[in-house]
Amino acid sequence: VIKCKAAVAWEAGKPLSFEEVEVAPPKAHEVRIKIVASAVCHTDAYTLSGADPEGCFPVILGHEGGGIVESVGEGVTKVKPGDTVIPLYIPQCGECKFCKNPQTNLCQKIRITQGKGLMPDGTSRFTCKGKQIYHFMGTSTFSEYTVVADISVAKIDAAAPLDKVCLLGCGISTGYGAALNTAKVEPGSTCAVFGLGAVGLAVIMGCKTAGASRIIGIDLNKDKFAKAKEFGAAECISPQDFKKPIQEVLMEMTDGGVDYSFECIGNVGVMRAALEACHKGWGVSVIVGVAGVGQEISTRPFQLVTGRTWKGTAFGGWKSVDNVPKLVNDYMAKKIKVDEFVTHTLPFDKINEAFELMHAGK
């Protein structure tokens, strides 16, 4: 058993608490990882807020991390102690019907136990003050050591800086893949990206890589416009600057609508606007943001009857074990940006400040 520091969420709506936790050794087909770096994501904050129907407490959050394998359980063959890895919240077992289907990346092998905050055998590897602590998204990267299933880990280039590539564990990969894999953006097309946080910026990067000729960024926070333009947005607009609905503004700007639109916020009203900003006959809108529990999307069916397509994406459609190492290699070869997404680097014990910066849009 390893004793180490972790940021524990004891209950919903409270700041994370720094605790000494015990991390049990990995069982069969499990891997124990020394986490070197972790990023914060709105999904962690969503669960911490109490709005997540799958949220269980007490829990160690975090799902964008990078680390070094410390030890492996029986039967683990893909990684060994000392390997550099990224934990994966969407695993890839290679055996279930989802893994065998090229149209999806949603491996279901450990979905049920993962959703309950437990390892595949139905137990936890974390204890604190004599209490069992739940796992989060199969990763729990807000701990100096964590245990994950062997199908939930990608071995990457040992030379990759973990304080940067940890972001490929969720946000950047999600946005980038939404453009390339889910929307399949075509050269010369016009795109609109709603929400210019890390995921939105990654969508812009994906649209640019795919050869889009015009990318329009949309956000209420104009402080985000300069960064979006660095990533490839031709222009940025705020819905607050117009009297009419933003979809009408975009239709006027683009002679009838955009070819592709992306919702990167998790707001059902914006999801509707993104669909309705698409061009009649061929426009495709991708939902990337995660909406609150119980919320529903709506539009007039005529929007779809007249040729628009509404899609969703999880982790950008990447088969995780296969593709995360390739994304890391693309970063190392300077084919994709990662460093540019990092605004602040804080010590682990300042994690609550990191969440405050994220909520402030900074």
Q: Could you tell me if 197 and 224 are in contact, meaning their C-beta atoms sit under 8 angstroms apart? A: yes
The 284-287 sheet, strands edge to edge: 235-237, 214-218, 190-194, 260-263, 284-287, 309-312
Q: Is 293 helix (H, G, I), strand (E, B) or coil?
A: coil
Q: Could you tell me if 303 and 328 are in contact, meaning their C-beta atoms sit under 8 angstroms apart? A: no
The one-letter code for the residue type at 29 is H
**Strand 284-287 and strand 235-237: pairing?**
unpaired
Phi and psi torsions of 161, nearest 5°: -75, 115
Q: What is the pLDDT of residue 292?
A: 83
Q: Residue 65's beta-bridge partner residues?
A: 38
Phi and psi torsions of 51, nearest 5°: -80, -15
| Residuewise pLDDT in 10s, the chain (362 residues) | 999 999 999 999 999 999 999 999 999 999 999 999 999 998 999 999 988 878 899 999 999 999 999 999 999 999 999 999 999 999 999 999 999 999 999 999 999 999 999 999 999 999 999 999 999 999 999 999 999 999 999 999 999 999 999 999 999 999 999 999 999 999 999 999 999 999 999 999 999 999 999 999 999 999 999 999 999 999 999 999 999 999 999 999 999 999 999 999 999 999 999 999 999 999 999 999 998 888 999 999 999 999 999 999 999 999 999 999 999 999 999 999 999 999 999 999 999 999 999 999 88
Q: Could you tell me if 328 and 165 are in contact, meaning their C-beta atoms sit under 8 angstroms apart? A: yes
Q: What's the CA gap between 185 and 178, in Å, rounded?
A: 9
Q: What's the CA gap between 231 and 130, in Å, rounded?
A: 48
Residue that has been written with the tokens 């031709």 in this structure:
234
In the chain, the domains with their CATH numbers are 2-169+319-360 (3.90.180.10), 172-314 (3.40.50.720)
Q: Is 54 helix (H, G, I), strand (E, B) or coil?
A: coil
Burial class (CB in 10 A: 0-12, 13-18, 19+), 248: middle
The one-letter code for the residue type at 297 is I
**Strand 84-87 and strand 214-218: pairing?**
unpaired
Q: How far is CA 220 from CA 34, 223, 225, 238, 250, in A?
A: 39, 9, 10, 5, 15
CA angle (69 as vertex; 165, 178 as ends), nearest 5: 35
Dihedral sign from CA coordinates of 137, 36, 313, 221: positive
- Helix-helix angle 268-276:246-253, to 10 degrees: 30
Q: What's the CA gap between 152 and 113, in Å, rounded?
A: 13
Structure tokens at 229: 């333009």
Q: Is 178 helix (H, G, I), strand (E, B) or coil?
A: helix
Which distant-in-sequence residues (6+ apart) come within 8 Å of 323 by Cβ? 173
Q: What's the CA gap between 115 and 207, in Å, rounded?
A: 32
Q: What is the pLDDT of residue 98?
A: 98
pTM of the model: 0.96
Q: Residue 4's beta-bridge partner residues?
A: 21
Q: Is 170 helix (H, G, I), strand (E, B) or coil?
A: coil
Q: Could you tell me if 191 and 161 are in contact, meaning their C-beta atoms sit under 8 angstroms apart? A: no
Q: Which long-range contacts (CB under 8 A, 24 or more apart) does 342-346 make?
A: 342/163, 342/164, 342/167, 345/163
Q: What's the CA gap between 270 and 343, in Å, rounded?
A: 26
Q: What's the CA gap between 250 and 277, in Å, rounded?
A: 6
Phi and psi torsions of 91, nearest 5°: -75, 180
Q: What is the pLDDT of residue 361?
A: 84
Q: What's the CA gap between 141 and 132, in Å, rounded?
A: 17
